């Protein structure tokens, strides 16, 4: 028996946050005609920067990893959303899923994928719907894009029409008029926030968040009408339909079974409690539910009394989307990518294969052609970036607590490991990182700056801690200085440590005697101080809402603010590239500021990254950005000459 109708989509934690601010959408459903417009990339995009807003001074040359929210399958290929790309994986041997190809870097995170024939239809939140030619899976081609008014998530196909669950904007209907032409022809306002959609015959079934299931008559896609609705007790994130029954993944209230034989009067007939139902797919008499930290298998032979018969605890603990066939289920895990589950014995499912890339990038350091990336799941990834256009993961190391930032020097990675303090890994062999030292501090370690045998730690409320690592097997604290606010960043230059004290500003400390650090000054900064880079007696601060602040520190006892640049976002981190300050500006992406005149700094480049730029590192004229759900991005700044990465390791 072939799989039942179901469009694979992303029930996204990201949308939870956005939707909470958008539930003020009109309470009554209505139909809004949309003006037809052709929006196309004009063919394959060889330069990755051609797809999303980026200044001419920056080229996006490489990308890897990101969060996995969506999956689809056609034949022996899986189409997995990883960050801002669809990754095509061969399942010819399901025990050894193999990378075949990747799409271009899209301007948003992949939240939904539907596949039909030679085309993939990909939703990317506020960046709308994208049409990808997948006839050659090793070289997919971006053909066209259609803007949608909301947050494009779930996607379904029916004939030449594409139905998009569009968040607060409801249901968007798009016509594919030519192989490279998408035209939005109608939008249906819905009461809450549309997360998923299934299109069968003359009806579209929409999982509409807090408003439950909405049924739309699309017999005329140009003039859709509301047919009926059934509220659910939770938050409807996904829907699958078989015959006259709709199965709704309703978050905390589990799986709800709704009779839709009469679309004007749908009615719930059964339910099954689960942990956190975010997606559902059907095969034969079973429903497979992406259920928070697990996948639940539910027997729906009697839809009035669905019964859980098996569960699989997911490796990453964040199951997001599922697709099923006769013997296996493909699970997209937010942090662990593709997991292939054998469900031949439903009461004892077993993982038989997987494909994984670095997930949600939080921090990055670069040296000797390798990028060291921390993800939000407390993993350190070591990535070969000697060819920045083709970054290759070499290994990863599981950390025991949240990892906030890191520094790499002399074949050691120093990790600010929150409540676990400082963790040092020997990375002399990138294929096999090994533990070297661990020191549990008084506070929560948020940043680290190594120098020789010493490590200087920003230890939150516990201030500055100085750790002697001369004997890695027996690290010890030799000095400390109480916090003046919340010590979240540290940089070293000469005899001084520069501390980012959050709301309290910039603090300069004399560490000539590391056993007795002494405060020299504290400068209040607009927006506070989050991260610091120091060059030639000038401190460059990432100051949150205050953007970039430039401080003259020639006299460390009396620092003077010289100038500032108010970035559009929230500046989280800064790295210097000659006279250029590179800023991780959160949801506004990467900002490059020319500071040759510190009194009047000016923008020299920008890129609106797919997710949220959280950290930045520089090597030569290459800029590495930890972009959260967007993974790791690698740019080349055109102001400088080309220098191979291996020759610019300091």
278-317 per-position pLDDT tens digit: 999 999 999 999 999 999 999 999 999 999 999 999 988 8
- Amino acid 34: pLDDT: 34
- Amino acid 641: pLDDT: 53
- Amino acid 22: pLDDT: 33
Which token pair is 479? Answer: 């000095």
Which token pair is 322? Answer: 């599922």
- Amino acid 351: pLDDT: 97
Does 500 score more than 80 pLDDT? yes
Q: Does residue 11 contact residue 289 with C-beta atoms inside 8 Å? A: no
Strand blocks (E) in 359-442: 361-367, 370-375, 379-384, 392-398, 405-409, 412-416, 422-426, 434-439
Burial environment of residue 451 by CB neighbours within 10 A (0 to 12, 13 to 18, 19 or more): middle
Does 42 score more than 70 pLDDT? no
CATH of region 13-355: 2.130.10.10
Does 36 score more than 70 pLDDT? no
Tell me the three state secondary structure of residue 512: coil
Query: Looking at 78-92, 325-339, 591-605, 631-645, which range is the least confident one?
Result: 631-645
- Amino acid 39: pLDDT: 26
Rounded average pLDDT over 312-335: 93
pLDDT digits (tens, 9 = 90+) for 580-594: 999 999 999 999 999
Tell me the three state secondary structure of residue 56: coil
Has domain 361-565 been given CATH number 2.130.10.10? yes
pLDDT digits (tens, 9 = 90+) for 240-251: 999 999 999 999
- Amino acid 585: pLDDT: 98
Does 275 score more than 60 pLDDT? yes
Rounded average pLDDT over 77-98: 97
Tell me the three state secondary structure of residue 10: coil
- Amino acid 377: pLDDT: 83
Q: Which of 15, 301, 303, 353 is nearest to 167 (CA)?
A: 15
Q: pLDDT tier at 14 (50, 70, 90 boundaries)?
A: very low
Other Cβ atoms less than 10 A from the Cβ of 325: the count is: 15
| Segments making up each domain of the chain, as ranges | 13-355, 361-565
What span, in angstroms and rounded, lies between the C-alpha atoms of 34 and 247?
Answer: 30
* Mean pLDDT over the full length of the chain: 91
What span, in angstroms and rounded, lies between the C-alpha atoms of 340 and 357?
Answer: 15
Q: How far is CA 224 from CA 147, 189, 229, 246, in A?
A: 19, 11, 15, 20
Q: Which of 554, 505, 514, 511 is nearest to 532 (CA)?
A: 505
Q: pLDDT tier at 53 (50, 70, 90 boundaries)?
A: confident
Strand blocks (E) in 10-160: 30-33, 58-64, 71-74, 77-82, 85-90, 98-102, 112-116, 119-123, 129-133, 141-146, 155-158
Tell me the three state secondary structure of residue 645: helix
Torsion angle (degrees, nearest 10) of CA 97, 101, 104, 106 = -20
Q: Which residue has the tokens 């800064």?
A: 574
DSSP H/E element including 320: strand 319-324
- How far is residue 321 CA from its own chain's centroid? 15
Tell me the three state secondary structure of residue 643: coil
Q: Which of 586, 572, 473, 476 is nearest to 532 (CA)?
A: 572
The CA-CA-CA angle for residues 327, 330, 331, to 5°, reads 140
What span, in angstroms and rounded, lies between the C-alpha atoms of 213 and 622?
Answer: 48
State the pTM of this model.
0.91
What span, in angstroms and rounded, lies between the C-alpha atoms of 210 and 156?
Answer: 21
Torsion angle (degrees, nearest 10) of CA 11, 13, 14, 17 = 120
What span, in angstroms and rounded, lies between the C-alpha atoms of 420 and 439?
Answer: 7
DSSP H/E element including 19: helix 13-20
Query: Looking at 44-53, 263-272, 562-571, which range is the least confident one?
Result: 44-53
Q: pLDDT tier at 28 (50, 70, 90 boundaries)?
A: very low
pLDDT digits (tens, 9 = 90+) for 462-477: 999 999 999 999 999 9
Say which DSSP state 4 is in: P
DSSP H/E element including 161: strand 161-165
What span, in angstroms and rounded, lies between the C-alpha atoms of 572 and 613?
Answer: 8
Q: pLDDT tier at 644 (50, 70, 90 boundaries)?
A: very low
pLDDT digits (tens, 9 = 90+) for 501-549: 999 999 999 999 999 999 999 999 999 999 999 999 999 999 999 999 9
Does 46 score more than 70 pLDDT? no
Does 9 score more than 50 pLDDT? no
- Amino acid 31: pLDDT: 35
Q: pLDDT tier at 401 (50, 70, 90 boundaries)?
A: confident
- Amino acid 378: pLDDT: 86
Exposure string over 102-135, b if 16+ CB within 10 A, otherwise e: bbbbbbbbbbbbbbeeebbbbbbbebbbbbbbbe
Same CATH topology for 13-355 and 361-565?
yes
pLDDT digits (tens, 9 = 90+) for 483-497: 999 999 999 999 999
């Amino acid at each position: 028996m072939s799989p039942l109708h179901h469009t694979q989509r992303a029930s996204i934690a990201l949308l939870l946050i956005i939707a909470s601010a958008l539930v003020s959408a009109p309470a009554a459903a209505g139909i809004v005609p949309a003006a037809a417009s052709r929006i196309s990339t004009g063919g394959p995009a060889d330069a990755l920067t051609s797809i999303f807003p980026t200044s001419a001074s920056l080229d996006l040359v490489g990308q890897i990893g990101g969060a996995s929210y969506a999956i689809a399958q056609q034949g022996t290929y899986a189409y997995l959303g990883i960050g801002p790309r669809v990754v095509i994986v061969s399942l010819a041997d399901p025990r050894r899923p193999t990378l075949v190809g990747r799409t271009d870097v899209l301007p948003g995170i992949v939240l939904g994928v539907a596949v039909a024939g030679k085309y993939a239809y990909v939703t990317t939140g506020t960046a709308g719907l994208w049409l990808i030619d997948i006839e050659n899976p090793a070289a997919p081609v971006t053909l066209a894009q259609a803007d949608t008014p909301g947050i494009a998530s779930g996607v379904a196909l029916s004939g030449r029409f594409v139905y998009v669950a569009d968040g607060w904007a409801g249901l968007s209907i798009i016509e594919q008029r030519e192989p490279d032409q998408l035209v939005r022809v109608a939008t249906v306002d819905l009461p809450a926030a549309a997360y998923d959609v299934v299109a069968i015959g003359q009806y579209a079934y929409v999982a509409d968040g807090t408003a439950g299931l909405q049924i739309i008559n699309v017999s005329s896609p140009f003039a859709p009408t509301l047919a009926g609705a059934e509220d659910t007790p939770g938050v409807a994130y996904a829907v699958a339909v078989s015959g006259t029954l709709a199965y709704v993944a309703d978050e905390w209230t589990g799986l709800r079974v709704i009779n839709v034989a009469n679309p004007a009067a749908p009615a719930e007939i059964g339910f099954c409690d689960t942990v956190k139902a975010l997606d559902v797919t059907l095969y034969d008499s079973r429903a497979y539910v992406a259920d928070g930290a697990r996948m639940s298998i539910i027997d729906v032979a009697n839809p009035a009394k669905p019964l859980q018969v098996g569960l699989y605890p997911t490796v990453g603990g964040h199951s997001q989307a599922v697709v099923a066939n006769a013997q296996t289920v493909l699970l997209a895990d937010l942090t662990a990518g593709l997991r292939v589950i054998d469900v031949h014995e439903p009461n004892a499912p077993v993982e038989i294969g997987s494909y994984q890339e670095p997930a949600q990038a939080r921090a990055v350091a670069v040296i000797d052609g390798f990028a060291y990336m921390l993800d939000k799941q407390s993993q350190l990834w070591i990535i070969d970036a000697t060819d920045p256009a083709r970054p290759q993961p070499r290994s990863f190391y599981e950390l025991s607590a949240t990892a906030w930032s890191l520094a790499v020097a002399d074949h050691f990675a120093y990790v600010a490991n929150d409540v676990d303090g400082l963790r040092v890994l020997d990375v002399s062999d990138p294929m096999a990182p090994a533990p070297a030292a661990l020191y549990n501090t008084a506070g929560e370690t948020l940043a680290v700056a190594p120098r020789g045998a010493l490590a200087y730690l920003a230890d939150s409320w516990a201030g500055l801690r100085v750790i002697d690592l001369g004997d890695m097997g027996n690290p010890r604290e030799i000095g400390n200085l109480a916090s003046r606010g919340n010590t979240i960043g540290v940089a070293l230059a000469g005899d001084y440590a520069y501390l980012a004290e959050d709301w309290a500003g910039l603090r300069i400390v004399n560490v000539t005697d590391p056993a007795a650090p002494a405060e020299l000054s504290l400068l209040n900064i607009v927006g506070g101080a989050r991260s610091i880079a120091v060059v030639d007696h000038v401190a460059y601060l990432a100051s949150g809402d205050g953007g970039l602040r430039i401080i003259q520190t020639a006299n460390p006892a009396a620092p003077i603010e010289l100038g500032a640049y108010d970035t559009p976002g929230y500046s989280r981190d800064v790295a210097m590239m000659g006279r250029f300050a590179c800023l991780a500006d959160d949801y506004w992406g990467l900002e490059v500021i020319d500071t040759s005149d510190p009194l009047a700094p000016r923008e020299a480049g920008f890129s609106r990254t797919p997710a949220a730029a959280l950290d930045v590192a520089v090597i030569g004229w290459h800029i590495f950005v930890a972009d959260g759900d967007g993974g790791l991005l690698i740019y080349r700044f055109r102001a400088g000459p080309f220098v191979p990465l291996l020759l610019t390791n300091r």
